[in-house]
Amino acid sequence: MQAFRNLAARAPKATAKSVSSRCASTLKEVLAAQIPEKQASLLKLKKEHGDVGLGMVTIDQVIGGSRGIKTMMWETSNLDPEEGIRFRGLTIPDCQKKLPGYQKGGEPTPEALIWLLLTSEVPTKEQADMLTADLHARSKLPAHIEPLIRSFPKDMHPMTQFAAAVAAMQTDSKFAVAYHTVNKKELWQHAYEDILNVFARLPEIAALIYRCRYADGQVKKDLSLDYSGNFCRMLGFTDPTFDELMRLYMVIHSDHEGGNASAHATHLVGSTLSDPYLSYAAGLCALAGPLHGLANQEVLGWILQLQAEFKKAGKPVNKDTIEEFTLATLNSGKVIPGYGHAVLRKTDPRYEAQRQFALKHLPDDPLFHIVSTVYEVVPGVLTKLGKVKNPWPNVDAHSGVLLCHYGFTQHDYYTVLFGVSRAMGALSQLFWDRALGLPLERPKSVTPEFLWSQATKAK
């Protein structure tokens, strides 16, 4: 036990440092200074403790989507079933307190979070602003992207457009070129360039998709603003409270440790040394599934359907009628979107952060009241089913209602916003995957016959 304590004391801490202790000041310089130490630490861990076991894998886990199997190293965030997400050791309220905002006391900016995720250090306001300027400077899209988006059929789902446009930007990949020309130890520098360019360009791609599908197709930038403020202007929103919502939205959707499908897909595809554009396009395809990111679209659809059906039938919206509607959804063989989670076992703190925003800025919004009543009813109904491991709401149960309040009503677009945000976590980790030279991911699959033979032997 003492030996374990000594070892743990020597391990690098997964918590954010409050100020950069290094004299290097740009993001790339801070990272370049961290890489040798982290490489050495990982090598030591592998060499001296590589044979330490992390637990048994059961047949149930193999058949059941690998739940709980510890099989991936992810350093940007960690998800505790009871407590929820921590980004580099910081909870969402910690981030709200410690990360610089656009204005003093405001929501943290995505730029500050990118800095934290990449470096594990809380940036100063000056560092966050420097990153804003860097991202703005990198934001010009390759010439073929805008015509490509304009050429998509109007009824192509926004997530399909988004994934296709991100993949099409791969023509600009510095990593893909460098793979053929530089020593593999230097590849991280090119991954860094691609990753920052993806962060910088996603908002305009997303805005173009939105404006072409639902508005006049025109996108107006305001590079005097931060990343989120400029994104809101490009989408066509000008309310400063909506800008604050967008900052919060992007921060809380950014990362959720490595096993979720979008992060895992990005990491898996990246492990083949496919470049960051293609890797993140794969992540977006995973995010587009209704059991994952598309749930935010499904939630609003479900609430609007509830509202419309009740109005038609002259029914009031209350706990009893919502329970009836919930049971009808379950009886038709569908899930209740926005509820349940593969890891969490409590109300998602990302839901709670959005609820606090609603209580402050839109306490009387009728849709917010429905969301709050659904929260009072659905956990009890799901618990009674006896099979649902987590009856509590996840991040997607709340986001649509906040967006709707500010006039952002096109719910089939919502997952694109999630996709702009999730890039920050998935690609920050991809940076470290390349900087640490992590290998091709290739788990072992087994046949049903093998599982039966093991089951028989164990009897």
Q: Closest CB to ligand HAX among 172 and 255?
A: 255
The active-site residue, picked from 341, 398, 405, 411, is: 341
Taking the least distance from each CB to ligand HAX, the nearer of 185 and 389 is 389
Q: How far is the CB of 394 from ligand HAX (least distance, A)?
A: 4
Total site size for ligand HAX, rule CB under 6 A: 22
Alpha carbon distance 188, 34 (integer Å)? 12
Is 412 in the active site? no
Binders of ligand HAX among residues 289 to 328 (CB under 6 A) are: 291-293, 295
Rule CB under 6 A: choose which of 5, 10, 180, 387 binds ligand HAX: 387
Across 345-369, b (16+ Cβ under 10 Å) vs e yields eebbbbbbbbbebbeebbeebebbe
CB of 206 to ligand HAX, least distance (A): 17
Alpha-carbon gap, residue 29 to 39, rounded angstroms: 16
155 belongs to the catalytic site: no
Q: Which of 410, 409, 402 is nearest to 367 (CA)?
A: 402
| Residue closest to ligand HAX, measured at CB | 340
Catalytic annotation present for 190: no
Give yes or no for residue 113 binding ligand HAX (CB under 6 A).
Answer: no
Q: Is 313 exposed, middle or buried (0-12, 13-18, 19+ CB in 10 A)?
A: exposed
Please report, as residue ranges, which positions from 222 to 261 form the binding site for ligand HAX (by CB under 6 A).
260
SS3 assignment, position 77: strand
What does the DSSP assignment read for 283-351? HHHHHTSTTTTTHHHHHHHHHHHHHHHHHHHT---SHHHHHHHHHHHHHTT---TTB--SS--S--HHH
Residue 395 CB, nearest approach to ligand HAX (Å): 6
Q: How far is the CB of 297 from ligand HAX (least distance, A)?
A: 11
Q: Does 389 bind ligand HAX (CB under 6 A)?
A: yes
Within 8 A by CB and 6+ apart from 133, the residues are none
Burial class (CB in 10 A: 0-12, 13-18, 19+), 388: middle
With respect to ligand HAX, which residue has the nearer C-beta, 240 or 289? 289
Residue whose CB is less far from ligand HAX, 220 or 389? 389
The answer to whether residue 394 forms part of the interface with ligand HAX (CB under 6 A) is yes
Could you tell me the smallest distance in angstroms from the CB atom of residue 364 to ligand HAX?
26
Long-range pairs, 378-387, Cβ under 8 A, ≥24: 378/322, 378/326, 378/336, 378/339, 379/339, 381/323, 381/326, 381/327, 381/330, 381/336, 382/336, 382/339, 382/340, 385/330
Interaction with ligand HAX in 414-443: which residues (CB under 6 A)? Answer: none
* Choice between 152 and 339, CB closer to ligand HAX: 339
Q: Which is nearer to ligand HAX, 339 or 368 (CB)?
A: 339
Q: Which of residues 333-352 bind ligand HAX (CB under 6 A)?
A: 335-342
- Give the active site residues: 292, 341, 396
The footprint of ligand HAX (CB under 6 A) covers 260, 291-293, 295, 330, 335-342, 382, 387-390, 394-396
